[in-house]
Structure 1
Amino acid sequence: MASQEVAVSMDKPVVVDATDHIAGRLCSKVAKLLLNGNRVSIVNCEKIMLSGTRDNIIYHYRKFLEVNSVIHPRHGPVHARRPDTIMTRMVRGMLPKKKPSGLMAHKRLRTYIGSPRELSAFEKIQFKEAKITKSPANYTTIGEISKIIGWTE
């Protein structure tokens, strides 16, 4: 579980254990790995931390969920409520939108709730720069926020 700059071969996937990582910093590291051509799997997405006060995070996410189509809400933007799909969207936002490199990089990303059995054989890495620095009580997990906004396990 050592922090390291990842320089692995393209045929072997990079498995990132996201426990106690700050969401934005983790997404930027993963986006860089994807743009370099690696296949990346993020496990334990429900344990990723969001910085800021809990009430403020919930308020802003609920305001985000109110955005929909004027014509018909079913046609409007679909908002993710599961931790793994939230992380997929966050990483997608850090990739180039119109370039083929960004589209291909996004296809190489996999996110998981928990740690699946098929990835247990791979070495899981963590990024030292993305780990939380204060007590976990100062952060809110994406799993907690997801449950509040409507995720049912």
Structure 2
Amino acid sequence: MVVDGTHLIAGRLASNVAKLLRKGNRVTIVNCDKIMMSGKKFSIIGEYEEFLKINSIINYKHGPKHPRRPDTIISRMIRGMLPFEDKPSGKTDFARLRTYIGVPKEVKGLEKIQFEKAKITKDSSRYTTMAEISRYIGGTNF
């Protein structure tokens, strides 16, 4: 299944994709940079900056690793909704997930779906895109 993330709310998208992965489907999410986060931009970016301050006292290489690109942020969100640490099935479910910035040529011709319940309901200016969040928290150019 190929899911187009344009103008979808991140949390609702992640929960729907996690359910599909638990059922055994292969899921590819395209346009991860256009997925929206609801809430005020200032508070969202502030929460991410607080999250980035969490690190190891001994050595930064010991973790935790913080995702900064839109596709890795979304995949980490979905991983949090799967039983990744608890059951081996969670790791196999997560292995069936692919996330991309933009649309790669492998999936250009395939039909893309969107979840109706995950679409934004208000004006898009009230939401923040994952690309904006990534730029503020130090994501690489994509």
TM-score, with length taken from structure 1: 0.90
- Write the distance in 2 (CA, Å) between the matches of 1:80 and 1:96: 19
* Structure 2: gaps of 5 or more residues: none
Residue identity matched to 1:25: R
Identity of aligned residues (%): 61
- The equivalent of 2:107 in structure 1 is 119
- CA deviations on 1:34-90 (whole Å, 9 max, x unpaired) are 010000000000000001100000100000000000111222211000000001100
Give the alignment of 1:5-24 within 5 angstroms.
14-24=1-11
Residues 5-44 of structure 1 deviation map (CA, whole Å, 9 limit, x = unaligned) = xxxxxxxxx0000000000000000000001000000000
1:82-122 residue CA offsets vs partner (Å, 9 max, x unmatched): 00000110000000131122111000000000001110121
Cα deviation, 1:107-142, whole Å, max 9, x if unaligned, reads: 000000000111012100000000000000000001
TM-score (ref. length: structure 2) = 0.96
What SS does the corresponding residue of 1:50 show, helix, strand or coil?
A: strand
One-letter identity of the residue aligned with 1:86 = I
Q: What secondary structure is seen at the aligned counterpart in 1 of 2:12?
A: helix
**Match of 1:3?**
none
Give the alignment of 1:131-146 within 5 angstroms.
131-146=119-134
- Find runs of 4+ consecutive structure 1 residues off by over 3 angstroms: none
SS state at 2:106 partner: helix
Which residue number in structure 1 is paired with residue 37 of structure 2?
50
Give the Cα separation in 2 of the matches to 1:76 and 1:15: 32
Question: Structure 1: which 5+ residue stretches go unaligned?
Answer: 1-13
State the distance in 1 between where 2:32 and 2:140 align: 15
**Secondary structure in structure 1 of the residue aligned to 2:67:** coil
Count of equivalent residues: 140
Return the alpha-carbon distance in structure 2 between the equivalents of residues 136 and 46 of structure 1: 14
1:148 aligns with 2:136: yes
Q: Which residue of 1 aligns with 2:97?
A: 109
Q: Give the 3-state SS of the residue equivalent to 1:79 in structure 2.
A: coil
CA shift for structure 1 position 152 = 2.4
Distance 2:95 2:12 in 1: 20
Report the AA paired with residue 64 of structure 1.
F
Partner of residue 67, structure 1: 54
CA RMSD, 1 decimal: 0.7
> Which residue does 1:130 correspond to in 2?
118
